[in-house]
Amino acid sequence: MAEPHNYSLQCYSGPGSRHTCPACGDKHCFSLYVDENGDYLHESVGRCNHESRCGYHYTPKQFFADHPSACSDWKENFFRVPQQTIKKTVKKQLWTIGADIVKSTVNPAIDSDFTAFLTGLIGRKNTAKIVKEYHIGVTKSKDVIFYQLDTEGRCRTGKIMKYDRKTGHRVKDEKVGGKITWVHSVLKQSRDPRLRLPEDWELTQCLFGEHLLRQYPRKNVALVESEKTAVICSLFWPEYIWLATGGKSQLNDRLQVLRGRKVVAFPDVDGYLEWKEKLSRVRGLDIVVSDVLEKESTFEDRANHVDIADLLIRQQREERVAVEVAGGRGGFEGFEGFEGFGKFGCFGEPGGFGESGAPLTHPTFLKLKRLLGVGNNMEEVALLVAGLDLEVVGWWKG
């Protein structure tokens, strides 16, 4: 009897390690199950990276159940516990990208198509601030680079993506450069020996925005799937550190860096049940999964796979509320469905009236009262002003 094999998804080592999905037909998106020798079981046994749009995942266990003659001992192989071997522990080298590479591509004065969209949404000043905060880079073709910097400030890699500068949606058509690429992959293929990474360079990812944990040691954390969502939400709710996993399935050991923090997770509209189930099994972390998208999303939202940023942008456009309000607080504090984490009950914080004290003594309310020339009985206006922490734009002395 042949020695049984242990199968696992093939690690990414370049475009050649990703194949055509047998279900959706997309190229370079399908990960095969391979054994310890790197041999794949069958061209249909693997997982599509397009979890929301496709969702194809055919495991070795399912394959052997469907094809019993393929391997007589597949049950023993699948449930077999490998024997412990005594070997010397060698600490794996952590490979990183040079800080000079990051610095040369991060420039708030040069827009990527993504930051051009941000400028139209939140203004140039806020966009420049967020570019510096998250170290958002730009390529010569105006693609955005979402760098992954860890808590030590070391760059693990950068995800290169193309966006439509008008809609803010990611361009997925590979014919116009819509394919996602990585900084480390580009550097491995560089013709410049000063930039080219060693052949044995291995990727070890971290959370997007992870470097902010050291910068803001007392802030609570909000966790989302995409880098774009983290960036946009950080402008609406700056009192929290917004981090991104990089994908729905990326709930892995990277989360351990969040130990000791209170975390609220905002999965995309089609990922709520999966995140809730997976995060319930994570030990040692204080994570609550928000159901705001489950409550607020329409049928059309679900069809479009919206995330929390999409709803915030829509709310901002509908209500015409400026993103940056007095005191630097988020522009949706107090609106129905977006009352802030405290009012969601995620962190046990009471919903407040901003940082200006009691509603009737809020400076903006006093200005508004003088401007309108009215007397008392304005408690509702006071509550609204304080709840939103509004500022009067264009105030003049009467």
Q: Residues 172, 213: one domain?
A: yes
> In the listed set 50, 79, 108, which residue is the last one of a domain according to the structure?
79
Q: Residues 70, 103: one domain?
A: no
Instruction: Determine, yes or no, domain membership for 190.
Output: yes
Q: Residues 107, 226: one domain?
A: yes
Instruction: Determine, yes or no, domain membership for 312.
Output: yes
Do 284 and 258 meet the contact criterion of CB atoms below 8 Å apart? no
Q: What DSSP designation does 40 have?
A: B
Instruction: Determine, yes or no, domain membership for 356.
Output: yes
Region of residue 274 (left: phi > 0; alpha: psi -120 to 50; beta: else): alpha
Q: Residues 107, 52: one domain?
A: no
Per-residue pLDDT of the chain (398 residues; tens, 9 = 90+): 444 567 888 888 777 888 888 877 788 888 999 887 788 888 889 988 877 777 788 888 888 777 766 664 544 555 444 545 545 556 678 999 999 999 999 999 999 999 999 999 889 999 999 999 999 999 999 999 999 999 999 999 999 999 999 999 999 888 888 889 999 999 999 999 889 999 889 999 999 999 999 999 999 999 999 999 999 999 888 999 999 999 888 888 899 999 999 999 999 988 889 999 999 888 899 999 998 888 888 888 888 888 899 888 887 777 644 444 434 443 333 333 334 433 333 433 333 323 334 444 555 545 555 555 545 445 555 555 555 555 544 444 44
Instruction: Determine, yes or no, domain membership for 317.
Output: yes
Report the greatest alpha carbon distance in the chain.
Answer: 94
CA separation for the pair 183, 66 (Å, rounded): 40
Q: Residues 62, 104: one domain?
A: no
Instruction: Determine, yes or no, domain membership for 91.
Output: no
Q: Which long-range contacts (C-beta less than 8 Å, at least 24 apart) are formed by 318-324?
A: 321/388, 322/393, 323/121, 323/122, 323/123, 323/126, 323/235, 323/236, 324/122, 324/123, 324/126, 324/235
Instruction: Determine, yes or no, domain membership for 347.
Output: no
Instruction: Determine, yes or no, domain membership for 2.
Output: no
What is the pTM (predicted TM-score) of this model?
0.63
Q: Residues 382, 269: one domain?
A: no
Q: Residues 182, 241: one domain?
A: yes
Nearest to 12 by CA among 37, 29, 36, 35: 29
Q: Residues 183, 301: one domain?
A: yes
Residue 113 tokens, joined? 């198509």
Q: Residues 35, 154: one domain?
A: no
Number of structural domains (the chain) is 3
Q: Residues 157, 191: one domain?
A: yes
Do 236 and 331 meet the contact criterion of CB atoms below 8 Å apart? yes
Q: Residues 118, 42: one domain?
A: no
Domain that holds residue 32: 8-79
Instruction: Determine, yes or no, domain membership for 119.
Output: yes
Q: Residues 275, 359: one domain?
A: no
